Amino acid sequence: MRSWTLYVTLLVAACAPAPPVPARHATPSSVAPGKPSSRPPFEDTLRLLKTMEYPDAELRAKAVRARFAAEIGVCRWRGTEAMSDEAFQAVASMVPAELFRALKVARDRRSTCSSAEATEALQSIDRLVATFASELAWRAPTFDPSAPILLSQGPCQCELDHFDHAATAFYPYWLRGKVPATPLGALGTIAYVGMTFDDDGNVRHVESPGRAGEPAGEPFDLAHAELVRTAHAAGVGVDWVIQQPDWARWSARTAAERRRVFDALATSLARISSTDRRDGVTLWFTGYPADAGAERMFDDLISAIVTKQKAGGMPGRISVLVPQDAVGAGLYDYRHLVNLVGQMRPDAERSQGGAVFVLLEEPTTESKKRLRMGIEEAPLQGPDRRRLLRAIVPVITFDGRSWQQLSDDEIYAAYNYAGLGFWLSSTELKPSRASR
């Protein structure tokens, strides 16, 4: 195993097969597709979704829709996880008669839906999902700043043997004190999600509104410092993910004020990646203004971070994190993405430079191909298209049990992109059949 490999390991109990549970709580794999089941419809899906943490509410909503469509078995979303006819009949007592008839029509069409029929089917799925609004309501994650970041070394029986490249795992701050569910053994980078910046450009934790970013040499907290030491000892990088979803006050600032904030932010981020030995930063600027002036200022921010990192004597990575539905427009227009990659990766063939992380929508069997198709159809020259594809890293949220889909996603990413990233969750990890 390569020397830089860090093993992120679940507790033994998490990797081991689940203990016996009552029939009404049986796992999906315990009932063969199409066979009768005594479980209430959607019980397993609802239970799983309650434990999965998605990057944002919109991605979660799309995941919920995709999973309900797959379980009902409508149009092209019908798969092995589709409920039996007996289970589907039980849905009739849960929804209005008119909605049940619409769902049945969509289910009976199977994979023969036209585009219009697929749209109609998804509208019915949305109405179905709405009946579970209370069970699916988003709940703010709990956060204990004193809890440790649980990472330990040693192989896990749940890991996928065919992962042969360094992957990036996004670690949300609210997982502290929990053991994250990851199917991976080999990691290249752990991206810590939980930092933002204030109105003066100071980096701080999202849960500490009154606390500025740490001064040089003083880590934000001991748990994160321990993460950095452990990761670097194994040759694994640690990135700050700097998120900023609120740009309302930004529009009221003058150009000079905006530049002052970004200049201060660039200095803070360069200090983090040089003085504190972090290996890089990832900018997650959801809803960033789309005007030309804002785009130029973003480019200047990237350039300033790279320049200051080099001046600090320890150049680090600079990457961006983008929702899939934002790719191809505004700040993340294909041509501008190519330019950003040029700034983040001055060497076109460099494999260790910054990345364009893309938060994939579900179902990933479609979204990963749609992402590639958009790049193929973009007005780019061959070398630019290749450079962009070599910088794209799709990021998925693994549900702990869809091993075949995960294998398909990894193989597709290996051949079409720069790798595959994972948004970590505390969902229980079910061993694949191969590891049992």
Please give the C-alpha separations between residue 367 and each of 325, 364, 407, in angstroms, as whole numbers: 10, 5, 15
Say if residue 76's pLDDT is above 80: no
Q: Are 350 and 317 in contact (CB under 8 A)?
A: no
Taking alpha carbons only, the member of 189, 256, 200, 264 closest to residue 228 is 189
Q: At what angle do helices 115-130 and 57-72 cross, to 10 degrees?
A: 110
For the chain, what are the domain ranges? 54-136, 167-435
Question: How much is the mean pLDDT over the chain?
Answer: 77
Q: What is the mean pLDDT of residues 231-237?
A: 74
Q: Reduce the DSSP state of residue 99 to 3 states and report it.
A: helix
Cis before 363? omega within 30: yes
Report pLDDT for 38: 54
**pLDDT at res. 20:** 34
For the ranges 148-162, 307-321, 361-375, the lowest mean pLDDT is seen at: 148-162
Lowest mean pLDDT among 6-15, 142-151, 390-399: 6-15
Q: Is the pLDDT of residue 218 over 50?
A: no
Give tens-digit pLDDT for 368-394: 999 999 999 999 999 999 999 999 999
Q: What is the pTM of this model?
A: 0.81
Residues 244-274: b if buried by 16+ CB within 10 A, e if exposed? beeeeebeeeeeeebeebbebbbbbbbbbbb
Task: Using alpha carbons, select from 219, 199, 225 the residue that is nearest to residue 210.
Answer: 199
Percent of the chain with pLDDT over 90: 27
Q: What was the pLDDT predicted at 274? A: 57
pLDDT score at 125: 92
Alpha-carbon span 256 to 263, nearest angstrom: 10
User: What's the rounded Cα separation, in Å, for the pair 236 and 245?
Assistant: 28
Question: Which superfamily does CATH assign the domain made up of 167-435 to?
Answer: Glycosidases (3.20.20.80)
Q: What is the pLDDT of residues 349-375, one digit of tens each?
A: 444 568 999 999 998 999 999 999 999
Model confidence at 143, pLDDT cuts 50, 70, 90, reads: confident
The CA dihedral of 15, 19, 25, 30, to the nearest 10 degrees, is 80
| pLDDT tens-digit readout, 395-424 | 998 887 788 888 899 889 989 999 889 888
Nearest 5°: phi and psi at 207? -95, 10
Quote the tokens at residue 42.
């959607």
- The C-alpha atoms of residue 285 and residue 245 are separated, in whole angstroms, by 6
pLDDT tens across 105-128, in order?
A: 988 887 678 888 888 999 999 999
* Half-sphere exposure (Cβ direction) of 253: Cα atoms closer than 13 Å: 17
pLDDT value at residue 28: 35
Least confident of 26-30, 77-81, 172-176, 307-311: 26-30
How far apart (Å, rounded) are the C-alpha atoms in residues 284 and 289?
13
